[in-house]
Amino acid sequence: MKKILKSDNWYLKCGIFITGFILIVILIGQFWTPYDSGYMDGAARLEGPSFAHIFGTDNFGRDILSRVIEGTGTTFLVSFCINLIGLLAGTMIGAAAGYRGGLFDDLLMRICDAITAFPNVMLALVIIAVFGSGDLNIIWVLGILFIPSYARIVRSQFVQQKSCNYVQMAKLMGASPLRIIFVHILPNIYSTLLPAATIGFNNAVLAEASMSFLGVGVSANKPSLGRMLNEAQSFLVGGAPWYAAFVGLAIVLLVMGLSLLGEGLQKEQLRGKK
Amino acid sequence: MLDVKDLRVQFLTSPHKWAVDGVSFHMDEGEMIGIVGESGCGKTVTAMSLSGLLKKKDVRYEGTVKLDGREMLDTDRDNIRNLQGTSLAVVFQEPLSALDPIMKVGPQVEEAIMVHHPEISPEDRKKMAFEAMENSGLYDLENVYESYPHQLSGGMLQRICIAAAIISKPRLLIADEPTTALDVTTQAHILELLKRINREQGTGIIMISHNLAVVNALCSRIIVMKGGKIVEDGPAYQIRNNPRHEYTKQLIAAIPTREKKYR
């Protein structure tokens, strides 16, 4: 911790500060929010920011601050799961393809290329249209769509590392391929994977928000940043611009914190290599 | 112990050349053989075929290599893997790159035991590692065991590599230019060490080098290679004092001595 505070890596510092702040708010939001996020106050519809409602109220008279806090939590959790699926499966596929090589490698990578050839959100919409929406479905679908980018990174690293002498040495000691992959190569590419995972998380947040914005995200009774932004757009000109502004701010803050974190980690890694 | 008969190796990327072209030699238990030759003469490819490190999809083999009567070229991966790290070990040229950069050197010395004898307890394994490291001429073992490769010097790293190779008491140790990356003093120490391992543990050592002087100081028998073929094979004193082949004479003439002057 001291090392981070002392370092001149401002990306990393700001990233940790913002992401940390958001995480604390999400954590508090699990136990306490200023109002019940579902409570509708008919007398206070579309009210501007005030002491009673710091972020104002929406068209049903619900407190926007409470809904933003809970919505950030939902978005964060969903993105985390999406990212986790992408990262784990992508690492497995990339490691197998990169270490094995040959036709097997070509086959896996061409499948990944095929998936990446479609715009993520569009492909997700098609799949959701076929299988129906739902919290779990959105996580699975987006998670699978995140696999190729991880698989590619891990594969390229494996191709590079497997010809290194230390891998040959481990082979000569009789180590099995699984042992070489997990014990020797994976720890060595960890520093490349970590920034990639942070940036991937970022994309997952945006993907989840876009899906909710389009109305196929998490179920409607849970507040989610994307869905709130969707609702807010009809009042953007009509009289409650703060609604969209505060929800947008939450998304921007979340994405900015994560991308600063990713950028900072990458810088730290580059410095380590020097 | 080791019987190589008419070994021919061809890389599929250059299908009309034989990298190793009909090499045959026999090695007795505990013998110390030196293979010398210029770059690209096939000495490393020969050694790599012995160790089973070349992939079947990259190369084509002909001939036979038998270690303790077991065929090395035609068996499947699992069989070779069982031999690697038990009967056979290799020490590479560049010790720093031969070790996993983010793993402590201690566990890397134990690798062969960990892979082949998972039933041995961590404490016993550590004891074996300490013994191997001590036999490799390392001291301050506790500290070295906990170090990462970048914290140690080249000579120490090469000793670590040797310790990793001898921990399972292999019958054949292939040293592929083990001293090329080291300075002359360390070089002498490492050569001394290899000689001691050969004498005390009876490990057969194949020493590959482009330096006839190094091999001559160490080995009882020398094989001279050129263009993928063995041009001369005989006791060290004979090669040194009475070379028969023109190429061997040139190699000996290339060893710098005080008397020789540049003309």
CB contact under 8 A, B100 and A171: no
For domain B1-87+173-256, is the CATH number 3.40.50.300? Answer: yes
Question: Which pLDDT belongs to residue B128?
Answer: 93
Is the pLDDT higher at B232 or at B54? B232
The mean pLDDT of A80-94, rounded to a whole number, is: 94
B197 pLDDT exceeds 70?
A: yes
- Can you tell me the distance from the alpha carbon of B187 to that of B193, in angstroms, rounded to the nearest whole number? 10
Q: Is A52 inside a domain boundary?
A: no
A22 pLDDT exceeds 90?
A: yes
- Per-residue pLDDT tens digits for A133-161: 778 888 999 999 999 999 999 999 999 99
Is the pLDDT higher at B50 or at A3? B50
Question: Which pLDDT belongs to residue B260?
Answer: 58
How far is the alpha carbon of B20 from chain A, nearest alpha carbon, in Å? Answer: 21
B263 pLDDT exceeds 70?
A: no
For an interface test with B, which of A99, A173, A183, A188 has the most B Cβ atoms less than 10 Å from its Cβ? A173
Q: Where are the beta strands (DSSP E) in B77-143?
A: 88-91
- Can you tell me the distance from the alpha carbon of A76 to that of A54, in angstroms, rounded to the nearest whole number? 22
CB contact under 8 A, B81 and A176: yes
Kindly list the residues of chain A whose beta carbon comes within 8 Å of any beta carbon in chain B.
102, 164-166, 168-176, 179, 183-184, 187-188
- Chain A's closest residue to B170, CA to CA, is A173
Q: What residue has token string 């090669």? A: B239
Question: Which pLDDT belongs to residue A263?
Answer: 87
Task: Burial-class residue A75 by CB neighbours within 10 Å (0-12, 13-18, 19+).
Answer: buried
Domain with CATH 3.40.50.300 in chain B: 1-87+173-256
Element holding B253 (H helix, E strand): helix B246-253
Cα–Cα distances in Å, from A37 out to A21, A24, A40, A85? 21, 18, 8, 29
Q: What percent of chain A has pLDDT over 90?
A: 34
Strand B2-11, strand B20-27: pairing: antiparallel
Question: Which pLDDT belongs to residue B109?
Answer: 92
Q: What is the mean pLDDT of chain B?
A: 87
The mean pLDDT of A198-206, rounded to a whole number, is: 88
Residue B159's pLDDT band, with cuts at 50, 70 and 90, is very high
A229 pLDDT exceeds 60?
A: yes
Q: Is A51 inside a domain boundary?
A: no
Residue B261's pLDDT band, with cuts at 50, 70 and 90, is low
CB contact under 8 A, B103 and A174: no
Residue B215's pLDDT band, with cuts at 50, 70 and 90, is confident
Task: Burial-class residue B237 by CB neighbours within 10 Å (0-12, 13-18, 19+).
Answer: exposed
Considering CB atoms only, which of B89, B101, B102 is closest to A172? B89
Q: What is the mean pLDDT of chain A?
A: 87
Considering CB atoms only, which of B81, B98, B103 is closest to A174? B81
Q: Which residues of A touch B100 (CB under 8 A)?
A: 166, 170, 184, 188
How far is the alpha carbon of B262 from chain A, nearest alpha carbon, in Å? Answer: 39
Question: Which pLDDT belongs to residue A273?
Answer: 58
The mean pLDDT of B81-107, rounded to a whole number, is: 88
Find the CATH number of the domain harbouring A191: 1.10.3720.10
Work out the number of other CB atoms within 10 angstroms of the CB of residue B40.
12
The mean pLDDT of B222-245, rounded to a whole number, is: 88
Is the pLDDT higher at B54 or at A89? A89
How far is the alpha carbon of B42 from chain A, nearest alpha carbon, in Å? Answer: 19
Q: Is A37 inside a domain boundary?
A: no
CB contact under 8 A, B100 and A166: yes
Strand B229-235, strand B172-176: pairing: unpaired
CB contact under 8 A, A169 and B161: yes
- Can you tell me the distance from the alpha carbon of B7 to that of B24, in angstroms, rounded to the nearest whole number? 6
- Chain A's closest residue to B102, CA to CA, is A188
B137 pLDDT exceeds 70?
A: yes
Question: Which pLDDT belongs to residue A158?
Answer: 94
Question: Which pLDDT belongs to residue B262?
Answer: 56
Q: Is A42 inside a domain boundary?
A: no
Q: Is A111 inside a domain boundary?
A: yes
A2 pLDDT exceeds 70?
A: no
Q: Does B161 touch chain A (CB under 8 A)?
A: yes
The mean pLDDT of B221-248, rounded to a whole number, is: 88
Q: What is the DSSP letter of B260?
A: -
Residue A1's pLDDT band, with cuts at 50, 70 and 90, is low
Q: Which residues of A touch B88 (CB under 8 A)?
A: 172
- Tokens representing B216 are 């001559």
- Can you tell me the distance from the alpha carbon of A256 to that of B45, in angstroms, rounded to the nearest whole number? 53
**Inter-chain CB pairs, A–B, below 8 Å:** 61
- Chain A's closest residue to B57, CA to CA, is A102
Question: Which pLDDT belongs to residue A92?
Answer: 95
Cα–Cα distances in Å, from A234 out to A25, A41, A172, A246, B257? 28, 20, 67, 15, 92
CB contact under 8 A, B97 and A176: no
Q: How many domains does chain A have?
A: 1
Q: Is the distance from CB of B59 to CB of B11 less than 8 angstroms?
A: yes
CB contact under 8 A, B100 and A168: no
B114 pLDDT exceeds 70?
A: yes
Q: Is A35 inside a domain boundary?
A: no
The mean pLDDT of B8-15, rounded to a whole number, is: 87
Q: Which residues of B touch A186 (CB under 8 A)?
A: none
CB contact under 8 A, A166 and B116: no
CB contact under 8 A, B115 and A168: no
Residue A272's pLDDT band, with cuts at 50, 70 and 90, is low
- Can you tell me the distance from the alpha carbon of B91 to that of B166, in angstroms, rounded to the nearest whole number? 10
- Can you tell me the distance from the alpha carbon of A251 to that of A203, in angstroms, rounded to the nearest whole number? 12
How far is the alpha carbon of A1 from chain B, nearest alpha carbon, in Å? Answer: 22
- Can you tell me the distance from the alpha carbon of B130 to that of B117, in angstroms, rounded to the nearest whole number? 17
- Per-residue pLDDT tens digits for A33-53: 888 877 787 777 777 788 888
Question: Which pLDDT belongs to residue B12?
Answer: 87
Between A152-166, A169-183, A215-229, B202-216, the lowest mean confidence (pLDDT) is in A215-229
- Chain A's closest residue to B166, CA to CA, is A173
Question: Which pLDDT belongs to residue B249?
Answer: 86
CB contact under 8 A, B99 and A169: yes
The mean pLDDT of A120-131, rounded to a whole number, is: 86
B186 pLDDT exceeds 70?
A: yes
- Can you tell me the distance from the alpha carbon of A41 to that of A53, in angstroms, rounded to the nearest whole number? 11
Residue B99's pLDDT band, with cuts at 50, 70 and 90, is very high
A124 pLDDT exceeds 90?
A: no
Q: Does B79 touch chain A (CB under 8 A)?
A: no
